[in-house]
Amino acid sequence: MTGAVPASASPRRLDAVVRGRVQGVGYRVFVVRAALDLGLTGWVANLPDGAVRCVAEGSLPALEAFAVRLRAGPAAAAVTTVLMAWPRPTGEFRDFSLRAGGHSGD
């Protein structure tokens, strides 16, 4: 045994922009609930162009499950695109929060 931590257990970071009918339909609350359910930390916010952006950190399996939920959204949403980036995790978050609209980033 090498004592190495499996890659899937190492912290990862997902930065996603979700487009479609995602504002005014409870999408951000849906994202917060999904993140908390999966044990993720980070934030979600509306963007001025009508999209929603979220940044989440946690294990790769949890983030992959989160991405599936982002694509589905709540019943009233109509997700057309989820753009995902996988930057390095920072460990800066203690919980998962809903931020005010138009948030420009970390």
Q: Just list the catalytic residues.
A: 28, 46
Distance separating alpha carbons of residues 87 and 12, to the nearest angstrom = 8
Distance separating alpha carbons of residues 54 and 43, to the nearest angstrom = 6
Measured from the Cβ of residue 40, the count of other Cβ atoms closer than 10 Å reads 26
Query: Is beta strand 41-46 parallel, antiparallel or unpaired with respect to 78-85?
Result: unpaired
CA-angle at 98, arms to 92 and 100, nearest 5°: 105
